[in-house]
Amino acid sequence: MQLNHMDDIVKKADRIVRKAGSRDPEVIARYAGITIFDAPFQKLKGAYKVIERNRYIFIKEDLDDVMRSIVLLHEIGHDTLHRRQATQFHEFNLFEMNVNTMEFEANLFAAQIALPDEEVIEYIMQGFDASEIARAMHSDINLVALKVSDLSRRGYAFHTPEHKKNFL
């Protein structure tokens, strides 16, 4: 993946936070004109779909607040980064990051919104590890690991924790 492409994803995430005036995924979805529906999914956590120019996020109805927020941001990432492709999907699928670049990109987008650079850096400077940062920021350790990895890519000299590629 090209460095400038990943930087573009970070910039798009930062831009939507500025324009929406919030990091709250429900606020961002409303700002963006995306309708959210709770769904009785068994395995899927969420899905994004464009139907007749209307944009929808379907989210598993029984997710805890932390995972609901992460999944919504991930799906908003698909709206921002992959809207054209979403009109072509014939069924709702969430792919693993190591199989599908779009899933990695949506996760990076979610991490950039959910985990502000300054806050993550401050926790790291205080000696917090990835699990402690996740608890402090009400997030998921895998999203924190992805964020730290991206901060390292952008030039910060941090030890990059391992993360599961299929956590969403």
Please, what are the averages of pLDDT over each run of 10 residues along the chain (168 residues)? 77 97 98 97 92 94 96 96 72 47 92 97 93 96 93 80 60
The boundaries of the domain holding residue 84 are 3-115
Walk across the sheet containing 54-60 and list its strands. Answer: 34-39, 54-60, 46-51
CATH of the domain at 12: 1.10.10.2910
In a domain, residue 148? The reply is no
Cα–Cα–Cα angle for 116, 118, 119, rounded to 5 degrees:
70
* Bridge partner residues of 68 (DSSP): none
**Cβ atoms of residues 140 and 148 within 8 Å:** no
In a domain, residue 82? The reply is yes
| Structural domain total, the chain | 1
User: Within 13 Å of residue 75, how many CA atoms lie on the same side as its CB?
Assistant: 31
pLDDT value at residue 77:
96
pTM of the model: 0.85
| Residue 14 exposed, middle or buried by CB count within 10 Å (0-12, 13-18, 19+) | middle
pLDDT value at residue 98:
46
pLDDT value at residue 17:
98
In a domain, residue 147? The reply is no
In a domain, residue 52? The reply is yes
pLDDT value at residue 121:
95
In a domain, residue 66? The reply is yes
Token pair recorded at residue 121: 């850096």
